[in-house]
A and B are shown apart, each in its own frame.
Chain A
Amino acid sequence: MTSQDVSHRAKVTLPKTAYGLIAILVLLVVASVTTPGFARVDNIFVVIRAASLTGIVAIGMSYITISGNLFALSASALGALLAVLFALLTAALGFAAGLFLTLGIAVLCGLAQSVAISLIGNPIITTLAFGTVFRGLAALFSGNSILRIESEAALWLGTARPLGIPTQSWAFIIAAILSWFIIRHFKIGREIVLCGANPKAAVASGLRVGLVTAIACAALSIGVAVMAIMTVSQFSQAKADLFMGYDFDYIAAVLVGGIALRGGKGTPLQAALGAVLIALLQNFMLLHGLSAGVRMTIVGLLVIASISLFHILQGRGR
């Protein structure tokens, strides 16, 4: 064993959010320099909108991961169901009723999943099954046709830019800050973190493990509902195959943000950054005309690279 001087080694340890921010900045600079059209105003809005909606769901997903329940695979399907229901309800009862009923139904769908997860014990399998049910119901309710809505309020919600910033991004920013605050400063937030860190010790300490799973599932469902409502509002239409294939993006955002798969670590802020990073990357690749297959491969590689990076950081830092 050779002697080596420790004092020469870098001792700075960055918070995990810093890595996300750095990566986003690097990508922004590279993209604007190399890609004509990237820095154009309308493209920027496209990116921001896409990142915001994915980000809101990723923030919801981070509750699931942090609470020790890995991932939910039902988010995109639930999104489609809620979009269809929102369109139907808005057409029948008006925008306000549609909005609140959809949010209520979302929470119920979340609670149903949490009960099943507590009983079955495996969140992946459970939500996979629920996802199929949701997608099926979406097809059933929509009659496999495109549902249109006409509502001034909905159009405003989908397309307005208060203070120059799209509504989607307002929702994203509010969700990120609120979730960070909940996880860090609320009692239930601490319970979510501790249950994820060690469920057995959580039970032994008298923490409400069932409630934690319920809150996590409900949080994700609310995030999904916001995405569904805003998407339908933006385009004034809904159909059963909305958001098909998006599930990996939500999960990728959580992982790229550096939230530990095992649970008990990380904040929703990291998922938010991860989502922005992935949305930027997707847009950058689209402008370069990369095919869907190439884009998928690259996002997948990014996830693998970031998981490995955080794994190494963890081994060294601690």
Chain B
Amino acid sequence: MLRMSGIVKSYGPTRVLEDVDLAVEAGEVMALMGENGAGKSTLVKILAGIEPADGGTISIDGAAVSIRSPGHAQAAGIGYVAQELSIVESLSVAENVFLGDETLGFFRSAASLARRARPYLERVGLDHIDPLSLAEEHSVAERQLVEIARLLSRKARIAILDEPTAALSETEIVRVKAAVRTLAAEGCAIIYVTHRMPEVFDLTQKVTVLRNGKSFPAVETAGLSIGDLIEAMLGRQLGQMFPPRAAHAGEEILRLDACRASGLKAPVSLSLRKGEILALAGQVGSGAGAVLRMLAGVTPIQSGSVTLEGGAYAPSGIAGSIARKVLYCSDDRKRDGIFAVRSVPENLSAPALSAVSRFGLLSPALEGEHVTRIARQFGLGERFLGRLAGNLSGGNQQKVALGKWIGLDPKILLVEEPTRGVDVGARSEIYSHLRKLADEGLSIIFASSDTQEVLGLADRIASFFHGELVRICDADDVTAESLTRDVTRASEAA
């Protein structure tokens, strides 16, 4: 149905796509995979009319088409969910669902928009939210689901989803998958970009892999092993995904006693030891992130007490926590993780300006050293250092957002969703790097909705559900099943 062939694209002197072919049939779900920066988003942006191609042809149903603007793409029946959120925060949810839909006419009452938006919202599991509420009141995950509702409302013949589940947790992923399956059953051709392996095998019929600007011929998912797929993406085999756990943990460094903060329904008590990696496992809105935000000084500690290295700890604001060397990396890198219009080195040195300057003057030597060290540790190649952070691929942006903290020699690192949108290769690098830091004495708390990541990386696991701490166990005593049960309270629901 859709055929792209010989697609070429460069940004300035960098050639991103050299000779890429992609074909999808009606009713088929095609996974588009590749390392961070392989050009997946670039390819689908070309199809969606957002970026112009430098060469190549696109045909739909055998007829050549020319797509020069998002309008063209829409007219050709192409629906697109971008990797970075494109929700307008100051508009209502319903307005966001129908954003840019010209068939609707100008004068629609808010109520009628809401009525028409509701079925689409229901299909992505957002029946609990008010279509008239403002988009900014909702979490990243909910906004992502609104984008998918928008795609459904378009009745596209070709649907593109660029990492739709990167910001979502298990239950929401199930909804997205169901929505995608329905679309495919209705005869829609679907291009699905993801870094999550289970989804590929669960949802897609074929896989196209991009590497070094070229595409490999599509292969049937059914006949593929995870190992083969990773090798095709990375060009090498991946050893152990997760590093071995800590041999022993040090003395207690942080202790929470009956703490409450916004986003928590019950007081939370837990402790963290030196060199330990503690996972806060939970779905979106479970309270896992709320604990991190409280410790980072983003939201105040409402009651209870926190002890850091034996002394009281109650940061007033982010600057307060940074001063105590407790550092926080949020899950919304576009909002507060990176400086998109500044270069990668400037991003990496941003929190460490004092360390790289002398007498109020920036020292190029110190800054260069600082930046190279982080870049090396996080596998950010030399060629990325000259770019603006906003021009990096999603996964590399994540490395910048996380990497900039490492240079400050933190005592405690608080990370929300550490590997969102990061490819398998880089993910294992980040894991092994976090473990190395922990072995050197850093304590890490991360919040994650990715079960594999929680089980693989953590020494201990605290599971959260609906704003309450469910239990804390050694990672050895937890299985994928018991964890899923804890974070969804499946046993109680049944």
Same assembly: yes
Cβ of A1 and Cβ of B360 under 8 Å apart? Answer: no
Note all chain B residues with C-beta closer than 8 A to A186: 360-362
Residue of B nearest to A209 (CB): B319
Note all chain B residues with C-beta closer than 8 A to A2: 66
Note all chain A residues with C-beta closer than 8 A to B122: none
How far apart are B85's CB and chain A's nearest CB, in angstroms?
Answer: 15
Note all chain A residues with C-beta closer than 8 A to B354: 187
Note all chain A residues with C-beta closer than 8 A to B360: 186-188
A187 in complex: contacting residue of B12, B56, B65, B357, CB < 8 Å:
B357
Note all chain A residues with C-beta closer than 8 A to B64: 1
Note all chain B residues with C-beta closer than 8 A to A265: 341
Is B158 on the interface with A (CB-CB < 8 A)? no
A-contacting residues, B10-36, CB 8 Å: 10-13
* Interface residue count on the A side (C-beta < 8 Å): 34
Cβ of B54 and Cβ of A194 under 8 Å apart? Answer: no
A205 in complex: contacting residue of B54, B58, B65, B351, CB < 8 Å:
B351
For the residues of B in contact with A, the DSSP-based class is: mixed
The complex places the Cα of A262 from the Cα of B339 at a distance, in Å, of 13
Note all chain A residues with C-beta closer than 8 A to B67: 1
Q: Interface range on chain B: under 10, 10 to 19, 20 to 34, or 35 or more? A: 35 or more
The complex places the Cα of A203 from the Cα of B350 at a distance, in Å, of 11
The complex places the Cα of A4 from the Cα of B54 at a distance, in Å, of 6
Note all chain B residues with C-beta closer than 8 A to A200: 335-336
A206 in complex: contacting residue of B13, B351, B361, CB < 8 Å:
B351
Note all chain A residues with C-beta closer than 8 A to B66: 1-2
Cβ of B346 and Cβ of A6 under 8 Å apart? Answer: no
The complex places the Cα of A190 from the Cα of B64 at a distance, in Å, of 49
Q: Which one of A6, A187, A262, A265 has the greatest number of beta carbons of chain B within 10 Å?
A: A187
Tell whether A3 pairs with B56 under 8 Å between CB atoms, given A187-B362, A264-B341: yes
Cβ of A194 and Cβ of B339 under 8 Å apart? Answer: yes
Cβ of B391 and Cβ of A318 under 8 Å apart? Answer: yes
B-contacting residues, A193-212, CB 8 Å: 193-194, 197-198, 200-208
B-contacting residues, A1-20, CB 8 Å: 1-6, 11, 13
Q: Which one of A1, A5, A191, A198 has the greatest number of beta carbons of chain B within 10 Å?
A: A1
Is B353 on the interface with A (CB-CB < 8 A)? yes
Is A185 on the interface with B (CB-CB < 8 A)? yes
How far apart are B183's CB and chain A's nearest CB, in angstroms?
Answer: 25
Is A317 on the interface with B (CB-CB < 8 A)? yes
Tell whether A318 pairs with B10 under 8 Å between CB atoms, given A6-B54, A191-B353, A201-B339: no
Note all chain A residues with C-beta closer than 8 A to B335: 200-201
Q: Please name the 3 residue pairs, one residue from A and one from B, whose CB atoms are nearest each other, closest first.
A: A206-B322, A200-B336, A197-B339
Binding site for A on B (CB under 8 A): 6, 8, 10-13, 53-58, 64-68, 318-319, 322-323, 328, 330, 335-342, 346, 350-351, 353-354, 357, 360-362, 388, 391, 404
For this complex, 16 residue pairs linking A to B, each with C-beta atoms less than 8 Å apart, are: A1-B64, A3-B55, A3-B56, A3-B57, A4-B54, A5-B55, A190-B346, A201-B336, A203-B318, A204-B330, A204-B336, A205-B350, A206-B318, A206-B323, A207-B353, A264-B342
